[in-house]
């Protein structure tokens, strides 16, 4: 399990989902990669339109809460002086390429969500640097150049439907942070203090662990709430990205946007596991 960087061309993925006929649940998508790699960096590139709709606000909140870094820029209106035709332009391909090359030392595997052949020079450059390169798109919207390029692993999103599809309103929901199967606009309300749920690791900091959750909010499990009496010199050394935590809500801060919740570990077995890892590292 190595380090993966996921780069999502949001505009391209919009049409991909329309072609597939179903929507991606981005919390489930994050859980999918977390289960396969030791660390996950997820980057989402999308043009910003005005005015900002409630749906876009909710979608941004979902992405941020589940560990995606969003890069956006305003859509430009370009008027053809000869015809008077207005063309909307909001391409972020250059930003994606620059970011991917600037962070090349931070990942082992590069995953591109786009079927656009314009990214082929980037993919070739990353292969030349020894990176594993994968492309996620679907048949019918993927450039032939990407399909036949040597050294690129092509993954059809249609085959991942059961793993990452966003259930429609009214479908059965899994109330857990590993695969929170609900539409962003139909998110669960903020939890009460004392609510118990399961979350997977999104990021580990010296002061605590950020967890996925079914409420689409920032969720922190602080170092002091792990139930461990021994000194922890490096939390990142004992927490694995594929760890799963049963936690209980300790505090809810609804004044922040997105809202934030603080949780305590509710699983004694996980406390014992973490303690044993500390002892093994001594």
pTM over 0.75: no
Estimate to the nearest angstrom the gap between the alpha carbon of 260 and the chain centroid: 18
In a domain, 214, yes or no: yes
Cβ(252)–Cβ(261) below 8 Å: yes
The pLDDT, as a whole number, for residue 67 is 80
The pLDDT, as a whole number, for residue 240 is 86
In a domain, 170, yes or no: no
Looking at every residue in the chain, the average pLDDT score rounds to 84
Number of residues written out for the chain: 282
Contacts made by residues 16-21, CB under 8 angstroms, sequence distance 24+: 16/113, 16/115, 16/137, 16/138, 16/141, 16/157, 19/138, 19/140, 19/141, 20/138, 20/157, 20/158, 20/161
234-264 pLDDT per residue, tens = 898 899 877 888 999 999 998 887 789 999 9
Number of domains in the chain: 2
In a domain, 97, yes or no: yes
Which range of residues forms the domain containing residue 107? Answer: 3-164
> Distance between the two ends of the chain, CA-based, in angstroms?
24
202 in the same domain as 152: no
- Which of 130, 164, 198 is the last residue in one of the domains? 164
In a domain, 227, yes or no: yes
Candidates 188, 136, 171, 164; CA nearest to 27 is 164
- Which of 132, 164, 196 is the last residue in one of the domains? 164
105 in the same domain as 192: no
Confidence bin at 192 (pLDDT 50/70/90)? very high
What burial letters (b/e) apply to 55-83, b meaning 16+ CB within 10 Å? eeebbbbbbbbbbbebebeeeeeeeeeee
In angstroms, the Cα distances linking 183 to 171, 187, 202 are 10, 6, 20
- For the ranges 12-16, 51-55, 192-196, 237-241, the lowest mean pLDDT is seen at 51-55
Q: Is the predicted pLDDT of residue 178 greater than 60, yes or no?
A: no
121 in the same domain as 88: yes
In a domain, 123, yes or no: yes
Q: What is the CATH number of the domain that holds 259?
A: 2.40.50.140
156 in the same domain as 34: yes
105 in the same domain as 227: no
- d(C-alpha 74, C-alpha 49), whole Å: 6
**Higher-pLDDT residue of 81, 29:** 29
203 in the same domain as 151: no
133 in the same domain as 28: yes
In angstroms, the Cα distances linking 94 to 35, 72, 98, 130 are 30, 12, 6, 22
128 in the same domain as 88: yes
In a domain, 175, yes or no: no
Tokens of 45: 């590139």
156 in the same domain as 25: yes
Q: What is the CATH number of the domain that holds 23?
A: 3.40.50.1010
8 in the same domain as 136: yes
- Which of 107, 132, 164 is the last residue in one of the domains? 164
86-144 pLDDT per residue, tens = 554 567 899 999 999 999 999 999 999 999 999 999 999 999 999 999 999 998 889 99
- d(C-alpha 181, C-alpha 255), whole Å: 25
In a domain, 177, yes or no: no
- d(C-alpha 187, C-alpha 53), whole Å: 17
């Amino acid at each position: 399990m190595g380090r993966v960087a996921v780069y999502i061309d949001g505009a391209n993925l919009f049409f991909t989902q329309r072609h597939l006929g179903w929507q991606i649940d981005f919390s489930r998508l994050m859980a999918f990669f977390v289960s396969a790699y030791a660390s996950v960096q997820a980057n989402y590139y999308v043009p910003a339109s005005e005015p900002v709709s409630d749906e876009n606000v909710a979608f941004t909140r979902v992405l941020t809460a589940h560990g995606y870094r969003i890069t956006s820029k305003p859509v430009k209106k370009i008027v053809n002086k000869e015809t008077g035709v207005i063309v909307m332009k909001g391409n972020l391909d250059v930003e994606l390429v620059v970011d991917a090359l600037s962070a090349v030392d931070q990942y082992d595997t590069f995953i591109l969500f786009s079927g656009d052949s314009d990214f082929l020079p980037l993919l070739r450059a990353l292969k030349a640097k020894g990176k594993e390169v994968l492309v996620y798109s679907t048949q019918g919207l993927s450039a032939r150049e990407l399909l036949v390029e040597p050294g690129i692993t092509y993954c059809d999103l249609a085959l991942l439907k059961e793993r990452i599809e966003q259930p429609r309103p009214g479908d059965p929901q899994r109330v857990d942070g590993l695969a929170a199967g609900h539409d962003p606009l139909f998110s669960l309300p903020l939890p009460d203090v004392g609510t118990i749920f399961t979350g997977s690791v999104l990021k580990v900091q010296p002061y605590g662990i950020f967890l996925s959750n079914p409420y689409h909010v920032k969720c922190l499990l602080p170092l002091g709430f792990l139930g461990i009496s021994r000194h922890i010199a490096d939390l990142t050394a004992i927490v694995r990205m594929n760890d799963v935590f049963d936690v209980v809500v300790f505090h809810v801060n609804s004044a922040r946007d997105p809202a934030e919740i603080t949780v305590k570990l509710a699983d004694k077995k996980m406390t014992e596991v973490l303690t044993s890892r500390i002892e093994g590292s001594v």
